[in-house]
Chain A
Amino acid sequence: AQTVTQSQPEMSVQEAETVTLSCTYDTSESDYYLFWYKQPPSRQMILVIRQEAYKQQNATENRFSVNFQKAAKSFSLKISDSQLGDAAMYFCAYRSITQGGSEKLVFGKGMKLTVNP
């Protein structure tokens, strides 16, 4: 079974600075998808960025980028120029396909990011 580990329960960053959130995972599959979701106090889970394992290039979305190390099974998220609106819970997730062909997300425990003005 796949597992996702986020070892840092909380982090803080100063506005306009850069922060990196770590995530490791365990899988025996060779092709898979990884995601970072954020969940602000409004509680809706919002997709931040996605990475396909078959792509060697690290994904980027504006101020968000990932460092995907497939061999090390590591998938960290870098937030540049942090903004107050980035404050939220961040979840790393792995897209798993079951034997029956269904898909599901396996989430890490989450990390609370605080942005200080």
Chain B
Amino acid sequence: DTEVTQTPKHLVMGMTNKKSLKCEQHMGHRAMYWYKQKAKKPPELMFVYSYEKLSINESVPSRFSPECPNSSLLNLHLHALQPEDSALYLCASSRGHRYIFERTEAFFGQGTRLTVV
């Protein structure tokens, strides 16, 4: 199983709504990531969880709140978003930095297409 599963695939939400994006992997990976991708642009890193601890927050606004309940799950809680937050949100996982000389590529989910109205 080399899959990273993201739900939902599409989400439309109002600026006053609260919603959550979910990501799951069963590859035993210990690093999980959230990326934001605008159309025709590369993914931009938002958060990194390493061994279930938040290790990188790329100065993301507090209306985005990540959560890592266990080593297989990663959530992104959304609240009071703005229309400019509309984008593709990608989740990824990798084995973790301790595996320097082993397969370390990141596996990506299919993303959640988020539209804020």
B105 touches A35 (CB 8 A): yes
Contacts of A33 in B (CB 8 A): 104-105
Q: Is the pair B110, A50 in contact by a Cβ cutoff of 8 Å?
A: no
Out of B31, B41, B50, name the residue touching A109 (CB < 8 Å).
B41
Q: Is the CB of A103 within 8 A of B43?
A: no
How many residues of chain B have a CB within 8 Å of chain A? 28
Chain B residues near A31 (CB-CB < 8 A): 100
Q: Which residues of B contact A42 (CB under 8 A)?
A: 110
A102 CB contacts on chain B under 8 angstroms: 31, 48, 50, 55-56, 97
Residues of B within 8 A of A105 (CB): 43, 45, 92, 106
- Cβ of B50 to closest chain A Cβ, rounded Å: 5
B55 touches A100 (CB 8 A): yes
Cβ of A107 < 8 Å from any Cβ of B? yes
The B-contacting residues of A in range 7-49, CB under 8 angstroms, are: 31, 33, 35, 37, 42-47
B110: which of A43, A97, A110 is its contact (CB, 8 Å)? Answer: A43
Interface residues on A, range: 20 to 34
Does A78 lie at the interface of the complex (its beta carbon under 8 Å from any beta carbon of B)? Answer: no
Sample of 17 more A-B contacts, CB < 8 Å, known A43-B110, A46-B108: A33-B105, A42-B110, A44-B108, A44-B109, A91-B42, A91-B43, A95-B104, A98-B56, A100-B55, A102-B50, A104-B33, A104-B45, A105-B43, A105-B45, A107-B43, A108-B42, A109-B42
Interface residues, chain A, CB within 8 Å of chain B?
A: 31, 33, 35, 37, 42-47, 50, 52, 89, 91, 95, 97-98, 100-105, 107-110
On B, residues with C-beta under 8 Å from A are: 31, 33, 40-43, 45, 48, 50, 55-56, 88, 90, 92, 94, 96-97, 100-101, 104-111, 113
CB-defined A-B contacts under 8 Å, sample of 29 = A43-B88, A45-B90, A47-B107, A50-B105, A89-B40, A91-B43, A95-B104, A97-B97, A98-B56, A100-B56, A101-B50, A101-B55, A101-B97, A102-B55, A103-B31, A103-B48, A103-B94, A103-B96, A103-B97, A104-B45, A104-B48, A105-B43, A105-B45, A105-B106, A108-B42, A109-B42, A110-B40, A110-B41, A110-B42
